Amino acid sequence: MSAFLQDVYGIDRSRSPEGLWNIAWRQLRRNRLAMCCLAILCVYTATWLYAEGIFWTAKIRGTVPDYKISHYEIRNGPPSPSHPLGTNFAGRDNLKQLIQGTRIAFELGLLTSIVVIPLGFVLGALAGYFGGKLDSAIVYLFSVVASVPDILLIMSITYVTRAAVERSAAMQSVTRYIDAGLLSICVGMGFTGWVGLCRIIRGEYLKHRERQYVLAARSLGVSHGAIIFRHIMPNVAHLIIINFSLRFPGLILTEVVLSYLGIGIASEPSWGTIINDAKQRLWLGNWWELGGATVAMFFLVLALNLFGDALRDALDPKLRIAEARTG
């Protein structure tokens, strides 16, 4: 049999079987577009880390970081060798602002995920695995959240959180490092964004709990907790990453809208605040400020969207079979 497999299909039985991630990586590597996107994402990640470095160095030294110092004598300056993207209304370098905007965008994605992933995953897993009344309760919960007009709920939660954060003395130590506006946006988007992940995870757990390996684990006396987290979770964990990469661009775009509505980030230059500040300058003919922010955002969102799609195609075996079937 083994020799037959090797002869006909080129499958070598002596090698250990390839995992989902290996196969997915091989497929991704063949996809030139996905690899370009990955390269772009790497550049952005490097920029983010660089920006974090600048931010934290200034924080630790207790100095005002470079990107925040105003030079009113050179405000609204056009692009020049020393300021490749010109300067803004306070004479700050636009490029430095954009680099910090990258940091804010990544922090936004990560902080929101701190709310979304545990909430969506645990609720989805519990609902799908146990079913019954618990399932009904959780389904009710996410149906309710999904039924509130999205932007309205984000805005209200953000607004109210912002007020609560600014009032509370305990949060002072946190808001010294993370902008209060950023924090409240993340809470707002987190408590609305978990529904999508929860739905997907619930569906997967519903399927997996009927599988043989779960039955085997049950009959060996493995506890429910261990089955949920140790047996089933590795089979569905890739969905979290896909969900993240497809949700991230939405977060960045929503942040711009929130900033426009005036409930955005207050003391740090995010892409949203840059675009909104640039709005007035566009009428003076200063296109480079808006252009820079748009381009910076464009490539990250584009790369995330395309890479997320490719990742989903690579990690979802069902889709792969469908593609292969018609060749």
Partner 1 sequence: MAAYVIRRLLSVIPITVGVMFITFFVFRVVGGNPAYRIAGKNATPARIAQISRERGYDKPLFLNFHQFPSHLLDAQFPQLCGNLLRLDFGQSVVTRERVGTMLREGVGPSLCVTTPLFVIELVLGVGLALLAAYYRNTWIDRGLVVFSVMGMSVSTLVYIMLAQYWLASQWRLFPVWGFESPRYLILPVLVGTIAGVGGELRFYRTVMLDEMYQEYVRTARAKGVSSRRILFHHVLRNALIPILTNVIVAIPFLYTGALLLENFFGIPGLGRLTVMALFNFDDDVVFATTFIGSVLFVLFNALTDIAYTWADPRIRLQ
Distance in angstroms (rounded) separating the CA atoms of residues 36 and 111: 26
Please name which of 105, 75, 100, 77 lies closest in space to residue 90, comparing C-alpha atoms: 75
Does the footprint of partner 1 cover residue 159 (CB under 8 A)? yes
What are 87's strand-pairing partners? 93
Nearer to partner 1 among residue 157 and residue 232 (C-beta): 157
Nearer to partner 1 among residue 229 and residue 299 (C-beta): 299
What string marks each residue from 163 to 202 as x (binds partner 1 by CB under 8 A) or -? xx--------------------------------------
Contact 286, 277 (CB under 8 A): no
Nearer to partner 1 among residue 122 and residue 301 (C-beta): 301
Q: Which residues contact 220 (CB under 8 A, 6 or more apart)?
A: none
What are the backbone dihedrals phi and psi of residue 87, each rounded to the nearest 5 degrees, phi first?
-125, 160
Cβ atoms within 10 Å of 32's Cβ, excluding its own: 8
Contact 300, 252 (CB under 8 A): yes
AA letter at 35:
M
User: Count of residues binding partner 1 (CB under 8 A)?
Assistant: 44
Own/partner long-range contacts of 77-82 (Cβ < 8 Å, ≥24 apart):
78/286, 78/288, 79/288
Least distance to partner 1 from the beta carbon of 24, Å?
Answer: 19
Applying the rule CB under 8 A, the residues between 138 and 157 that interact with partner 1 are 140-141, 143-145, 147-149, 151-153, 155-157
Applying the rule CB under 8 A, the residues between 293 and 312 that interact with partner 1 are 294, 297-299, 301-302, 305-306
Does the footprint of partner 1 cover residue 32 (CB under 8 A)? no
Helices vs strands, H then E, count in the chain: 14, 0
Nearer to partner 1 among residue 69 and residue 144 (C-beta): 144
Chosen residue from 261, 266, 313, 320 binding partner 1 by CB under 8 A: 261
Q: Which residues bind partner 1 (CB under 8 A)?
A: 140-141, 143-145, 147-149, 151-153, 155-157, 159-161, 163-164, 249, 253, 256-257, 260-262, 275-276, 279, 282-283, 290, 294, 297-299, 301-302, 305-306, 322-323, 325-326
